[in-house]
Amino acid sequence: MAETTRTPETDRTDPTRHSAVRSLLRLWPFVRPVRARLITAACVAVIASCIGLVIPLVLKWLVDGPVAERDPGGVWLGGGYVLLLGLAEALLFGLRRWLVARPLAGVEAAMREALYRHLQRLPVAFHDRWPSGQLLSRGTTDLQLLRMFLTFPLTFLLVNGTTILVGGVILLAQRWSLGLVLLAPVLPLMALCSVFEAKYGRAARRTQDQLGDLTTVVEESVLGIRIIKGFGRHRSQARAFKELTQRLRASELRKARLLAWIWGFNTALPEIAIGGALVLGTLQVADGALSAGTLVAFLSAALALRWPVESIGFLLAMSNEAAAATDRYFEVMDERARADDDGEGDANGDGGERTEGSDVGDSDSDSDDDAAGGLVFSGVEFRYPDAAPDSPPTLKDITLHIRPGETMALVGATGSGKTTLTALVPRLYDPTAGRITLDGRDLATLSRGEARALVAVAFEEPTLFSATAAENVLMGGEHAQESDLRRALRVAQADGFVDALPNGGATEVGEQGLSLSGGQRQRLALARAVVGRPRFLILDDPLSALDVHTEALVEAALRQVLATTTALVVAHRPSTVLLADRVALLSDGKITAVGTHHELLRDNPEYATLMSGEGEGAR
């Protein structure tokens, strides 16, 4: 955890490959349903801003008229006009805020839902590459930035631009010579803002990526707190975390310096122009070339334009942060998803070309594997998507037939490819060559929904969720009933400890199920695999965390389940192997032998070594 894993995606910190506008335009599909409210809110804000520019004209009339003529009634009337205009401006800006609050909260929720749904459909290979903190930051912090952009900068870039344009016309109409003095800083400010935008965009992207890295470290530290404490690594972890926070702090300070720089220029140049216009206007009033009311109106309009001009840097900063957040969001959304919900085969979502399955069978297969049914691997090859092009495939020419109702044990040394092979059956990955059939149906022609309705899996490392014990088990069967739950708990020998929990099956097991022992978590995971009475069952060393006595009880109950399903069981111990009808030996990505446990013990030295525990073992 001292060094944060980064992906190629999160290293792309230069947003200049797209303009900020082009990036932000990608939000349109999400904004389109609420466009009427946003357009209405923008129009209301423009009207409110223009009302603010009418006040200087009222002041001009007030000074040159009632004040100059010493008319108290006119002064009160003018003051009333100014008060009403101010109230109207305030009410309209409040209306704008009300108009955008609900729809933009809906936009954020829709984008978050779309991201989560897309993450569920992305292949496992994607999740293997991406740090979880980077995904979390995209679904939380980045979307909050986008909502803030849609709420404020998006509207006020238009409003302030319109205000500056209308205000400029008013200034020139009042006194063109003074207007030119005030508008002189416009071109220098535009050039400065262009430079600022490019620099701030890169800084914003860098900061958001670093925040994702920081989120990853925090999550890993929380989930791995037992390891950190157990090995006394809290100081080194604190140092590593401090280094990341210092990098993030440096990036934030760079953003602050850039913002201070542009804000300073956006404030100083207009102030200098106003000062110059004030001196020039005062001289013209003294010479009688300009009325006092006109000068008051002119300066009032100029002061009304201060905020629109000064806020340009701030609005551009928020817009560039939103553009970086948009790029980060769509980096995930642009990843190719799987067609989980349709019936068309997505033969190779992870890369590589699928080939037609060969007719080659092993010595124990029937002459026509497909017709025989069961689980059939035909010439299957698999290479991980991010593997080097010249590296050998993880699995090579796997040809194996597990007959209907048969249990096959899969045995092999560490790194032989056992877990990878079992991951192909529920389509967590797709083969890069060959094919797999379930009861004669090509797995590639089934949607993932169909495949996973037929196949249930229990992994060696059980994953539980922050839910009740019963809810964790029932995740394995969409239509499972209470009777199915009780049966599954009995098979996994989990009914005893579940009933002993404070609220029985309704007890929350906590994040990752860490309130339970390793054996208890493994038994709940096994119960989850069998609760739906699957047609095919894949078990990856499901009993490794159990004591000898509990293992014997689970095996006895599990035999009844295995008698009604076709199963592939990764086994490391002879007791687990004895659950199987036959055994397949996997060596260096290839099936090198198939037979009964006793046959392989007698005839295969590698298998005998693995079962005796004298070799490197199967883990």
Q: pLDDT by residue (tens digit) across 537-564?
A: 998 877 776 777 777 878 888 888 888 8
Looking at residues 187-204, what average pLDDT do you find? 82
Of 430, 398, 454, nearest to 584 (Cα)?
398
Question: Which CA distances in Å does 504 have to 469, 497, 500, 508?
Answer: 8, 8, 6, 9
Q: What is the mean pLDDT of the chain?
A: 80
Given a cut of 50, whether residue 335 has pLDDT beyond it is yes
Given a cut of 50, whether residue 16 has pLDDT beyond it is no
What does the pLDDT read at residue 5? 39
Q: How confident is the model at residue 593 (pLDDT cuts 50, 70, 90)?
A: very high
Identify the bridge partners of residue 568 per DSSP, sorted by sequence position.
408, 538
CA distance 227 to 512: 15
Q: How confident is the model at residue 585 (pLDDT cuts 50, 70, 90)?
A: very high
What does the pLDDT read at residue 152? 85
Identify the bridge partners of residue 433 per DSSP, sorted by sequence position.
381
Given a cut of 80, whether residue 162 has pLDDT beyond it is yes
Of 472, 581, 453, nearest to 523 (Cα)?
472
State the residue for tokens 């009418």. Answer: 54
Given a cut of 60, whether residue 20 has pLDDT beyond it is yes
Structure tokens of 2? 């001292």
Given a cut of 70, whether residue 518 has pLDDT beyond it is yes
Q: How confident is the model at residue 238 (pLDDT cuts 50, 70, 90)?
A: confident
Q: Which residues of 398-423 are buried (b: 16+ CB within 10 A; e: fewer)?
A: bbbbbbeebbbbbbbbeebbbbbbbb
Q: How confident is the model at residue 1 (pLDDT cuts 50, 70, 90)?
A: very low
H or E, element range at 437: strand 433-438
Q: Which residue has the higher pLDDT, 14 or 257?
A: 257
Q: Is 279 exposed, middle or buried, given 0-12, 13-18 or 19+ CB atoms closer than 10 A?
A: exposed
What does the pLDDT read at residue 338? 57
What does the pLDDT read at residue 8? 39
The torsion defined by the Cα of 228, 233, 236 and 242, in degrees rounded to 10, comes to 30
Q: pLDDT digit string (tens) for 177-186?
A: 777 887 778 7
Q: Which residue has the higher pLDDT, 112 or 167?
A: 112
Given a cut of 50, whether residue 127 has pLDDT beyond it is yes
Given a cut of 90, whether residue 111 has pLDDT beyond it is yes
Given a cut of 70, whether residue 364 has pLDDT beyond it is no
Q: What angle do CA 606, 609, 610 make, to 5 degrees?
A: 90
Domain with CATH 1.20.1560.10 in the chain: 9-333
Q: Which residue has the higher pLDDT, 306 or 372?
A: 306
> Do 574 and 554 form a contact (C-beta atoms < 8 A)?
no
CA distance 20 to 318: 11
Q: Which residue has the higher pLDDT, 145 or 370?
A: 145
The crossing angle, in degrees rounded to 10, of helices 153-174 and 35-62 is: 30
491 residue type, one letter: V
Q: Is 382 helix (H, G, I), strand (E, B) or coil?
A: strand
Domain with CATH 3.40.50.300 in the chain: 369-612
pTM assigned to the model: 0.73
The crossing angle, in degrees rounded to 10, of helices 153-174 and 306-333 is: 150
Given a cut of 80, whether residue 68 has pLDDT beyond it is no
Level-2 CATH architecture, domain 369-612: 3-Layer(aba) Sandwich (3.40)
- What phi and psi, each to the nearest 5 degrees, are found at residue 545? -100, 10
Structure tokens of 209? 């990526």
What does the pLDDT read at residue 586? 92
Q: What percent of the chain has pLDDT over 90?
A: 12
Q: Is 344 exposed, middle or buried, given 0-12, 13-18 or 19+ CB atoms closer than 10 A?
A: exposed
Residues composing the chain:
619
Q: How confident is the model at residue 408 (pLDDT cuts 50, 70, 90)?
A: very high
Q: Which residue has the higher pLDDT, 206 or 56?
A: 206
Q: Which residues of 103-118 are buried (b: 16+ CB within 10 A; e: fewer)?
A: bbeebbeebbeebeee
Question: Which CA distances in Å does 535 have to 292, 487, 529?
Answer: 92, 17, 11
Instruction: Based on DSSP, count helices (H) and strands (E) in the chain, helices before strands.
Output: 25, 10
Return the CATH fold of 9-333.
Answer: ABC transporter transmembrane region fold (1.20.1560)
- What phi and psi, each to the nearest 5 degrees, are found at residue 274? -65, -40
